[in-house]
Amino acid sequence: MYSRRFYEPMHGGSKPARQAAIAWRDAQLKQLQPLSLVEFCQHQRTHNTSGVAGVHFLVPPSQPEGQWQAKLKIGGKSRSKSFSVRKFGYEQAYELAVVARAALLAGAQDRPYLLAETAKRMMPKPSAQNFDRKVEAIP
């Protein structure tokens, strides 16, 4: 469970409820291990139709046949590589995009994926002992 409510009447006021909420949050942050950046980028979204996270099909006006694109966005910077169906054919363009996506992920610095400043402060500094997980490559 990643959320919980702390009602004032149950804790004897707003200050004790806030203290209980902060203590619960801190305990959760210590117990849970965050996703790595690469794991987060490999997570397939519900609207994905290609079967591979970060690979999608585009039909720009200049290429009515379409193109497959591998895309990776990290730290506000987006990198992409496109493969034309006209040039490579539908299947080969898709396969090239999947390989390109794996290459983009391989070049990404793997670190804990944390957004909240509180979580960042509470995380121990990454080292071989506390952040050494194997991440599966894209097939």
pLDDT in tens, 50-64: 999 999 999 999 989
Q: What local confidence, expressed as pLDDT, does residue 59 receive? A: 95
Q: What local confidence, expressed as pLDDT, does residue 15 receive? A: 95
User: Which two tokens mark 54?
Assistant: 């970060």
Q: What is the reported pTM?
A: 0.62
Task: Find the DSSP H helices in 1-139.
Answer: 8-11, 14-31, 37-42, 85-88, 90-106, 117-122
Report, as ranges of residue numbers, the positions in the chain whose pLDDT lies below 70: 1, 115-116, 118-120, 122-139
Q: What local confidence, expressed as pLDDT, does residue 1 receive? A: 56
Q: How far apart are CA 102 and CA 139, in angstroms?
A: 9
Q: Where are the domains of the chain?
A: 1-32, 34-139
Cβ partners under 8 Å of residue 105, min gap 6: 38, 41, 42, 54, 72, 137, 138
